[in-house]
Amino acid sequence: MMSREEVISDKMDWVTVALYIAIVFLGLLNIYAVTYDRESDISIFNLTINSGRQLLFIAGAFVIIMAILIIDMRFYETFAYIIYGLVLFLLLLVPIIGKEVGGNKAWLGIGSFGVQPSEFAKFATALAVGKYIGSVGFRMDRIRNQAILFVLIGAPMVLILLQKDTGTALVFTAFTVVFFREGMSPFLIIAGIIGAIIFVLTLMVNQYYLYTAVGMILVISILMGRKKLKRIALLTLGAIAICGIIISVDYVVSDVLKPHQQNRIKALINPDADPLGFGWNVTQSKIAIGSGGLLGKGFLQGTQTKFNFVPEQSTDFIFCTIGEEHGWVGSLVTMALFVGLLLRIIFLAERQKNRFAHVYGYSVACIFFFHFAVNIGMTIGLFPVIGIPLPFFSYGGSGLWGFTILLFILLKLDVHRMQVLQRI
């Protein structure tokens, strides 16, 4: 019989590992580039700057990887609900005993060391969702089962919203794509997308034009098709629903959303409206990225990301550094690495033999995708500013560890994918 190490190294998906290492390494270099000061010339390893601390976090991530690989693969499925429950408990604790960092009470402190339970809620929820969908007797077409799925992702969402961390809470909407993959009707996603389009249109176009447009589409579709009462009634109902959304958007934007959230949406629609105020982040971010040109200004040669013009440079706006210092070519490489990783995760998920691992794989892919799309989208002004990190790139221990756990549990499951068959 072969030793465990040999088994792991033989069956490990080294492509994913290589992509992971490449992204983490590039992230570290860019965090160094942000903190680099041409006058003091501090080493990348200096622990007083972010890049030095990130190096410690990376070391921690390797310990976590080892632990994940050593732990028996059955542990993750078996203890999925317990892990999920534990993380929910921690999330509950945060508003009570958590400490406040940067306006958000999202941290649990252990001495001087703090972690964000919300970062770990992602993999815990992925495990629980995987286990539930993979459980015997689960049927996607049953409303009760669907409802439980939404409770599973809804619970951490609500608890994270209580911490006022809207960005991380929104990440859990990514699970709807997983549900879609596992057979849920696409209606929900389509409705969500249409809702979002109407939402944005309402902000950009005068409401009365929208009402007129909806009315015209209604009349045309009634005239075009068969003139059955039921069909006409349904279409009319749909049109009234859309008008209802339009009315409620105005209410939501001006009454429900907090001023800083309103401004983020306004900045997306028209960043030039107040470039020194709420448009500052997006404007400066675009200036930094846009000034990179085709080849960029060169490593450590950036000016916008170095001199604090872009806020949150080493965390949420880390992509600006790549854009500025490495230009469009750097952007291309980064996109290729992320899209490559995402496609590779789907490939891994698809080759899993049991449903738990399959769902878990898709959960990982969708969570990464959501982070990737929203993070880069906001830096180039395609999405509103939602403070979520770029996986493996952004500075921060909890984030890096959370994403590492997500990815390497999948790799661990992948190593033993044949074993699962034997078990059954």
* 303 is an interface residue for other proteins by CB under 8 A: yes
Measured CA to CA, the distance from residue 333 to residue 326 in angstroms comes to 10
Give me 364's structure tokens.
């990982």
Measured CA to CA, the distance from residue 359 to residue 175 in angstroms comes to 10
Kindly identify the residues of this chain, within the stretch 32-51, that bind other proteins according to CB under 8 A.
37-39
Nearer to other proteins (CB atom), residue 78 or residue 185: 185
Quick one: which segment of 87-95, 153-161, 306-314, 408-416 binds other proteins (CB under 8 A)?
306-314
- Pick from 46, 291, 300, 419 the residue near other proteins by CB under 8 A: 291
* 413 is an interface residue for other proteins by CB under 8 A: no
**How crowded is residue 296: how many other Cβ atoms within 10 Å of its Cβ?**
22
Q: Enter the DSSP assignment of 347.
A: H
CB of 342 to other proteins, least distance (A): 5
Phi/psi of residue 105, each to 5°?
A: -95, 80
Nearer to other proteins (CB atom), residue 165 or residue 182: 182
Nearer to other proteins (CB atom), residue 71 or residue 343: 343
Kindly identify the residues of this chain, within the stretch 357-376, that bind other proteins according to CB under 8 A.
362, 365, 369, 372-373, 376
- Pick from 95, 195, 290, 298 the residue near other proteins by CB under 8 A: 290
Measured CA to CA, the distance from residue 291 to residue 7 in angstroms comes to 48
Measured CA to CA, the distance from residue 329 to residue 103 in angstroms comes to 36
Residues 118-127: b if buried by 16+ CB within 10 A, e if exposed: bbbbbbbbbb
How many CA within 13 A on the CB side of residue 32?
A: 17
* 134 is an interface residue for other proteins by CB under 8 A: no
x/- track of binding to other proteins for residues 324-353 (CB under 8 A): x--xx--xx--xx-xx--xx--x---x---
Is the CB of residue 304 less than 8 Å from the CB of residue 284? yes
- Pick from 286, 371, 412, 416 the residue near other proteins by CB under 8 A: 286
First to last CA, the chain: 21
Which residue ranges make up the site for other proteins (CB under 8 A)?
Answer: 37-39, 177, 180-183, 284, 286-294, 303-304, 306-309, 323-324, 327-328, 331-332, 335-336, 338-339, 342-343, 346, 350, 362, 365, 369, 372-373, 376-377, 380, 382
